[in-house]
Amino acid sequence: MVLKRAEWPQSDDFAIAVATKVANYGAYVILPEYGDKEGFIHISEISSTWVRNIRNHIHENQRVVVKILNVDPEKMHIDCSLRRVSAETKRSKNNEWKRAQKAEKLLELIAKENGMSLEEVYEKIGWPIEDEFGEIYKGLERAADGDVDVFENVAATKKLRKQVADLAKQRIEIPFVEIDGEITITVPGPNGIDVIKKALSEGLEEGKKREKSTTEIYTLGSPRYKLRIVSPDYKEAEDLLSDILGLITKTVESGSGTISFVKK
């Protein structure tokens, strides 16, 4: 179970669905994020190609990502689409679902520790964390990587903020992304080697300025060099890569050299 604040999904939302019954004319699903409310996928919304056998696309107990087409709370009816979900949206929604499940498991521990229901914990600190960070799990990651101070603006009691921050530190591993590629540098003339050394040293020094990232540059055999960056998130890694390559390029080109970079 993963709780949502909204009782009903909105049109154009993407949601997790589990197929409960598959017929020739479509598939019935439940939406676990919305209290297992029932939805329906008409056969015309199963696939963008001709559907010879609907069970080649969806079967009972299968978990899928659907797009919400229409919602009628009075009739307790939700129309869904499978074919209008791109591969990227499917990946993103499944990742969001997994993160929400991890967050809920931590909140369940908080509930048990305080003799509260899960719903109470969501109200008292789960939703306030979501309000502050946009996603509960993102707030937990921030706490795991910092301390309770990251919850300073979260509208919850000091006790709950500390309990959640302490648990986050114990149970959540901060994900890291890695970017690596190959730099090719040539600098003509007798001072070429010195220019290259200076450029790569400046790149390494720039990398050291980011406390949460690591930068490695080593030779693969002149004129090829490996550049590897490990950071807590992709944007920081990309920004650092841009800064390092900018510095190296400036020094190399000032020495009348050429440089190219191929990301692996």
> Cα(8)–Cα(78) distance, rounded to whole angstroms?
9
**Under a CB-based contact definition with an 8 Å cutoff, are residues 155 and 133 in contact?**
no
> Cα(196)–Cα(187) distance, rounded to whole angstroms?
7
**Under a CB-based contact definition with an 8 Å cutoff, are residues 202 and 251 in contact?**
yes
Q: What is the pLDDT of residues 54-87, one digit of tens each?
A: 999 999 999 999 999 999 999 999 999 999 999 9
Confidence of residue 140 (pLDDT cuts 50, 70, 90): very high
CATH for 89-171 is 1.10.150.190
> Cα(90)–Cα(66) distance, rounded to whole angstroms?
8
Q: What is the pLDDT of residues 24-52, one digit of tens each?
A: 999 999 999 999 999 999 999 999 999 99
Q: What is the pLDDT of residues 162-212, one digit of tens each?
A: 999 999 999 998 778 889 899 999 999 999 999 999 999 999 999 999 888
For the record, the structure tokens of 202 come out as 């400046």
**Under a CB-based contact definition with an 8 Å cutoff, are residues 81 and 70 in contact?**
no
- The residues of the chain that CATH labels 1.10.150.190 are 89-171
pLDDT for res 264: 79
> Cα(105)–Cα(145) distance, rounded to whole angstroms?
19
pLDDT for res 93: 94
Question: Mean pLDDT for the chain?
Answer: 94
Dihedral angle of Cα 116, 117, 119, 121, to the nearest 10 degrees = 30
Q: What is the pLDDT of residues 12-22, one digit of tens each?
A: 999 999 999 99
pLDDT for res 168: 95
Q: Give me the CATH topology for the region 14-85.
A: OB fold (Dihydrolipoamide Acetyltransferase, E2P) (2.40.50)
- The residues of the chain that CATH labels 2.40.50.140 are 14-85
CATH of 177-263, one of 3.30.43.10, 3.40.30.10, 3.40.50.2300, 3.30.70.1130: 3.30.70.1130
